[in-house]
Amino acid sequence: MTWTERVVEREGVRLVCRDWGGEGPGLVLLHGLAGHAGEWDALAGRLRSVHRVVAVDQRGQGASDRFPSDVSRDAFVEDVVAVADQLGLGRVVLVGQSMGGHAAILAAARHPDVVRALVAIEADVSGPDPEWPTQVRRWLDSWPDSFPSRDAAVQFFGGGAIGMGWADGLEERDGQWWPRFDRT
CA-CA distances (angstroms) from residue 33 to 99, 138, 159?
5, 14, 19
Judged on CB neighbours under 10 Å (0-12, 13-18, 19+), 150 is middle
Is 130's pLDDT higher than 70?
Answer: yes
119: enclosing H helix or E strand:
strand 115-121
Highest mean pLDDT among 58-72, 103-117, 159-173: 103-117
Q: Looking at the predicted structure, is the pLDDT value of residue 140 above 90?
A: no
The pLDDT-based confidence of 182 (bands split at 50, 70, 90) is: confident
Does the pLDDT of residue 128 top 70, yes or no? Answer: no
pLDDT at residue 1, as a whole number: 63
* Cα distance between residue 70 and residue 134, in whole Å: 19
Rg (CA), the chain: 16
What is the spatial distance between Cα 113 and Cα 90, in angstroms, rounded to a whole number? Answer: 9
Continuous segment of H or E residues that includes residue 178: strand 176-179
The pLDDT tens digits of the residues spanning 47-90 come to 999 999 999 999 999 999 989 999 998 999 999 999 999 999 99
Measured CA to CA, the distance from residue 7 to residue 15 in angstroms comes to: 6
Rounded to 10°, the helix 73-86/99-110 angle is 70
- Per-residue confidence (pLDDT) for residue 181, from 0 to 100: 81
> What pLDDT is stored for residue 139 in this prediction?
87
Q: What pLDDT is recorded for position 117? A: 97
Three-class secondary structure of residue 28 per DSSP:
strand
Percent of the chain whose pLDDT exceeds 90: 74
